[in-house]
């Protein structure tokens, strides 16, 4: 039971963020712009994570997420990797959008199995949970106690930058695979072995495929 307690805490944080998606069928997309067009008053969020940033006339998650993800998801279900969005401007490549992440393996699997919206929302939930788990594994691997590693995992999940940008999902790969890359680097130096270094490189590759490239570059520089 003690071994399961950290994961129970990470699951509780994840559910506090996404309970309305699971129970009420709401979306995790930032849809304030659409709501303003319908004349709906802005409601205060009920979750721990404040997904509504200062008022805007349009947002990244409106322009860059729903339609490209729909094209991408429908293509995968038809056995195609569709990378062109004909609906924005005079057409844009989906690969130019750093928050769709079309080559990221978890996205390939989830969007092949689920509709675009649920696939995106399930991805946010899984990455938030495994962000805590990955930091916990990394800290335990570095010799920290279970309580310290659990606290580190919670802080990693609840960090201000993640709380601000969680609804766009562009930190997903960094949140999960960044701590594992750090662990691999530390173990490679400690053991003078290339095997952990190879694991760190693979984890860093997942960060690049599953995160905004700017943040992947920052993380690589830190490591």
pLDDT in tens, 21-64: 777 777 766 666 666 667 777 665 555 555 555 554 455 666 67
Q: Give the whole-angstrom CA distance, residue 44 versus residue 13.
A: 19
Exposure of 47 in the CB half-sphere (CA atoms within 13 A) = 22
Residue 93: what are its φ and ψ, rounded to 5°?
A: -75, 135
Residue 129 included in any domain? yes
Q: Give the whole-angstrom CA distance, residue 180 versus residue 182.
A: 5
What pLDDT does 95 receive? 86
Residue 142 carries which DSSP code?
Answer: T
Count the Cβ atoms, other than its own, within 10 Å of residue 22: 13
pLDDT in tens, the chain (223 residues): 788 999 999 999 998 877 777 777 777 666 666 666 677 776 655 555 555 555 544 556 666 788 888 999 999 999 999 999 998 788 989 887 778 899 999 999 999 999 988 898 899 899 999 999 999 999 999 999 999 999 999 999 998 877 777 777 888 999 999 999 999 999 999 999 999 999 999 999 999 999 988 888 999 998 8
Residue 181: what are its φ and ψ, rounded to 5°?
A: -65, -40
Residue 94 included in any domain? no
Q: Give the whole-angstrom CA distance, residue 157 versus residue 222.
A: 19
Residue 134 CA: distances (Å) to CA of 91, 127, 147:
38, 10, 15
Q: Which of these, 93, 108, 138, 123, lies nearest to 29 by C-alpha position?
A: 123
What pLDDT does 170 receive? 81
Residue 159 carries which DSSP code?
Answer: -
Structurally, the chain folds into a number of domains equal to: 1
Structural domain that includes position 45: 5-52+115-222
């Amino acid at each position: 039971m003690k071994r399961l307690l950290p994961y129970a805490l990470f699951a509780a944080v994840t559910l506090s963020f996404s309970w309305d998606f699971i129970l009420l069928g709401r979306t995790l997309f930032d849809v304030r712009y659409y709501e303003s067009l319908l004349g709906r008053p802005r409601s205060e969020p009920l979750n721990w994570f404040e997904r509504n940033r200062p008022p805007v006339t349009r947002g990244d998650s409106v322009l860059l997420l729903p339609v490209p993800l729909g094209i991408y998801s429908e293509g995968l279900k038809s056995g195609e990797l569709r990378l062109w969005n004909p609906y924005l401007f005079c057409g844009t490549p989906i690969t130019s959008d750093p928050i769709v992440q079309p080559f990221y393996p978890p996205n390939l699997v989830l969007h092949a199995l689920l509709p675009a919206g649920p696939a995106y929302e399930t991805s946010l939930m899984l990455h938030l949970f495994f962000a805590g788990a990955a930091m916990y594994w990394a800290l335990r691997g570095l010799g920290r106690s279970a309580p310290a590693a659990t606290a580190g995992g919670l802080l990693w999940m609840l960090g201000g930058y993640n709380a601000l940008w969680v609804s766009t999902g562009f930190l997903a790969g960094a949140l999960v695979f960044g701590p594992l890359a750090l662990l691999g680097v530390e173990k490679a130096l400690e053991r003078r072995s290339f095997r952990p270094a190879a694991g760190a490189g693979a984890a860093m590759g997942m960060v690049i495929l599953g995160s905004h490239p700017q943040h992947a570059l920052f993380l690589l520089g830190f490591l």
